[in-house]
Chain A
Amino acid sequence: MRLGLGLWFAAALGAQNLEVRAHTLANGMRVLIHEDHDIPNVALYLFFKVGARNERPGTTGLSHFFEHMMFNGAKKYGPKQFDIQMEKNGGRNNGYTTSDVTVYTDFFPRTALDLMFDMEADRIRDLAFDPKIIESERGVVHSERRLSVDNNNMGALHEQVNAVAFTAHPYGNSVVGWPSDIEGWSLEDLKSHFRMGYAPNNCVLVVAGAVSEAEILALAKKYLEPIPRQEPPPPVRTREPEQRGERRLTIEKPAELPLLMVGYHVPEAAHADTPAIAVMNALLTQGRSSRLQSRLIERDQLALTVTGRSQPGFDPGLMVIIAQPRAGVDPARTEAALHEETGRLGAAEPGEDELRRARNQLIAAHYRGLKTIAGKANTIGGYEVFSGGYQKLAAYEAEIAAVTPAEIRRVAGKYLARRNRTVGTLLPEKKEAAR
């Protein structure tokens, strides 16, 4: 059955194996190219292997701040020019920062290729540090923090669950930065972070869209190869010690509804258990027929929503399950049902039908992620950076299809154990006052 399943997906989708051309420039920068001529546009992604895990107390949030500063002017293209030039040539950009990486994303018509390479090279080599602009951008980042953490219950609880789950490893750092650090970092902090993280040999460039391999390689050699290599960030030595008992935290604040979040330590992305953990997560939280959705939302009506996520990382990280309890439901009841279900999965193997639903949803979602050139660039880069090479992408279906019921039981028993979990609850304050 497992084999058959893998095969029909392979038959349906296998032809979609993304053709990727890989090169390494003389300065160590990786260049991955995927041609797709459906629309006359290009997605260009730069993955820098620097994130919140490379930060220390006092400078948390710096990687994310750089995601902003990289748009604020360099030597040839001064303040605002990156955006002005890009938009007047029909392009737009964005970026994102995680605990592990800082990623710059450019989307533009192929007519702007030369300009984009010129501007990217300019800011990687010669970023400017104007104190006035830094102060203004500090305000922008603080506003982003207020939006996504301080005035967002999900963001606020997630930040605290991370901070409690990690006692030693820098994955406990706030990615956007603790407020005092946002207010406090100095020009010198910025300069040294830039020197540390933005080495070409610490970067993977992915170009997907209406391009040819030859033209991208020529542009990369012309604009990016001359940038000198540097020392990459020092290795993160700290390993999170094994957790030996449940940890709990609460946040009390005015809110309409409570929120529950449970974090479980799981291994790094490249670990052999990663596919089984992904299937386990899908079996618990993906689709209305999944165990937690069908039990908590539909049958017992203890929760409004249930989601599960884990982000690929260089080091052992956290899988998180989030449940929003229904109004008037004691969050303790929602939590008890959640633990009962995770416990059940560790105690007995799931049925083959159920497992098939989880696998099929994951595989279909994987291919949905490849519908756009942006999705392709992001997926190719993510595999190259976290999973030991873009070639691993082709093995995704087979890996997911190979996960057995016994493996699900094993990883559930191991990682969803009580002693390995951190439980965070956000409680509406006004409810407390009314008691």
Chain B
Amino acid sequence: MRWLLGVLAAGVLSAQVKLPAFTRQTLSNGATVILMPRRELPLVTVNVTVRGGAESDPDGMGGLASVTAELLRRGAGNRSAARFAEDLDALGATFLSQVSQQATTVSLEFLEKDAEAALSLLGEALTTPQFPEDEVKKAIAQRADSVRGSKDNPMMSTGIYYRAFYYPQGHPYARPLNGDEASLAGIGRKDAAAYHARHYVGRNISVAVAGSFEVPKLMPLLAKALGGLPAGAAYAWRRAAGAPALTAPRLLLVDKPDATQTYFYIGQPGIDHNHPDRAALSIVNTVFGGRFTSILNDELRVNTGLTYGANSTVERDRLTGSIYIATFTRTATTAQAIDKALELLRKLASAGLNTEQLASAKAYIKGTYPTDRLETSDQLVNLVQELALFEQNRGEVDDLFSRLDAVTLEQANAAARRFYGSPNLVFVLVGNAAEIRPQVKKWAADVVEIPVSRPGFDAR
């Protein structure tokens, strides 16, 4: 029995997972429609991706894409915000909007039998938002309070401080996705309406639907809901900026006097979304800080008990991003934890991985990929939209396992040397400055300190 099982098992392990079949169509206004019918639960997920995202926020108006997306449901067609909420809740449907560095995503999930009513809500929100003055004021005031509130939770705010400090002034990724007190104060009804008119157009949107539906029934409903958008023009991406030139280590200290632990990020230049080293880097980062047994977590958590968790992230956006370590430790062990993290970085860049680590990371990525990306309809629409947004084909998924298998130890270690060995690191610490301040000069001569109560996230 075990032997038989073993044979079966080997068959499954070597199999490459595939993206389920989907079709692509175009509405008369140029909007792309991707359809992936699959019978599981009688739920349907629609994901509308609008190109631009935070990158398209005008200078000084960080958060405009995000505010516009929030306002879509607050008065649309003949429905007031309250009426829209009632009609949506009556279906038990969900309507969410989210902004990334390069896109706004509006997602709707509903029961198969409610397709007509749900898609009509979506259509009104996307094509005829009214931007009522009182709702605009309310949404912006709520957003500003949220920004303040996020500073009560350093787990949330440290990353926003980090991006504002890591990226040079004027870089689109330096701005908080949801804006800050100053940028939000400058946004009005006209700005949101203009943003909508410019970006929510046929040639700039892609619609993906997965779940329980029949294509011939769904297509007319989609055409009716979204066909009313003008064709317009696709968003013109900003010219690719290279990695920021880091010429010396820099450090930002955010003083939160009541903090009993220090939250910190340590960053250096990384890659853009389609970088040729992405497979090698995903393996290296898995070993270094991408899972529980990673080098970082093993040392900072398991061996020393300095933290509840330590990890490393490779940003994967359209423009070149960063690779950063993120963790936290009690105030008294701040220096010990940072020094340890730096030591591990140096060791990774110089010694690299061994064959066992390489094989284990490959197996881990392959084993977790199906539950991370291919299990639910919402994961699948996200994935096909990501392929479309970054102009990749389905081979990105279908050949993933063989591309991982092809990465040699030499290639992985070349990536480790190239991407984890920068001498000019960027540090961001949120914690009790009175306790930490005396130590920070050892990591960077260029130190900036601000109080957490200061509005916004930009220290410059």
Query: Which residues of the other chain, B, contact A110 by a CB distance below 8 angstroms?
Result: 9, 12
**Distance between Cα atoms of A210 and B260 in the complex (Å):** 45
Across the interface, name the chain A residue whose C-beta is closest to B301.
Answer: A140
List residues of B whose CB falls within 8 A of some A CB: 1-2, 5, 9-10, 12-13, 15, 17, 40-43, 81-82, 85-86, 88-94, 109, 111-113, 138, 141-142, 144-146, 148-149, 151-155, 256-261, 291-293, 298, 301-308, 328-330, 359-360, 363-364, 366-368, 370-371, 374-378, 453
**Distance between Cα atoms of A298 and B138 in the complex (Å):** 8
**Structural contact, A143 and B92, CB atoms closer than 8 A:** no
**Distance between Cα atoms of A114 and B304 in the complex (Å):** 32
Contact of B307 among A143, A294, A364, A365 (CB under 8 A): A143
1/0 contact trace for A148-165 toward B, CB 8 Å?
A: 001111000000000000
**Structural contact, A80 and B298, CB atoms closer than 8 A:** yes
**Structural contact, B363 and A90, CB atoms closer than 8 A:** yes
Q: Which of A360-407 contact B (CB under 8 A)?
A: 360-365, 367-368, 370-374
Give 13 A-B contacts (CB < 8 Å), ordered by A residue.
A38-B375, A39-B370, A41-B371, A108-B367, A109-B366, A138-B305, A139-B304, A140-B305, A147-B328, A297-B142, A327-B145, A364-B111, A368-B43
**Distance between Cα atoms of A94 and B94 in the complex (Å):** 28
List residues of A whose CB falls within 8 A of some B CB: 8, 11-13, 15-16, 38-41, 80, 83-84, 87-93, 107-114, 135-144, 146-147, 150-153, 210, 215, 218, 253-257, 286-290, 294, 297-298, 301, 304, 324, 326-327, 353, 356-357, 360-365, 367-368, 370-374, 430
Between A39, A111, A142, A324, the greatest number of chain B beta carbons within 10 A of the residue's beta carbon is seen for: A111
Contact of A147 among B13, B257, B261, B364 (CB under 8 A): B261
Given A87-B364, A90-B366, A143-B306, also A288-B89 (CB < 8 A): yes
Contact of A371 among B41, B307, B367 (CB under 8 A): B41
Given A80-B302, A287-B89, A288-B85, also A146-B260 (CB < 8 A): yes
**Structural contact, B113 and A80, CB atoms closer than 8 A:** no
Query: Which residues of the other chain, B, contact A362 by a CB distance below 8 angstroms?
Result: 92
**Structural contact, A153 and B138, CB atoms closer than 8 A:** no
**Distance between Cα atoms of A254 and B152 in the complex (Å):** 9
**Structural contact, A373 and B364, CB atoms closer than 8 A:** no
**Structural contact, B41 and A8, CB atoms closer than 8 A:** no
Across the interface, name the chain B residue whose C-beta is closest to A359.
Answer: B92
Query: Which residues of the other chain, A, contact B364 by a CB distance below 8 angstroms?
Result: 87-88, 90, 92
**Distance between Cα atoms of A361 and B142 in the complex (Å):** 25
Contact of A368 among B109, B148, B292 (CB under 8 A): B109
From residue A281, how far is it (CB to closest CB) to chain B in Å?
14
**Distance between Cα atoms of A374 and B368 in the complex (Å):** 13
**Distance between Cα atoms of A374 and B145 in the complex (Å):** 35
**Structural contact, B302 and A146, CB atoms closer than 8 A:** no
Across the interface, name the chain A residue whose C-beta is closest to B364.
Answer: A87
**Structural contact, B292 and A87, CB atoms closer than 8 A:** yes
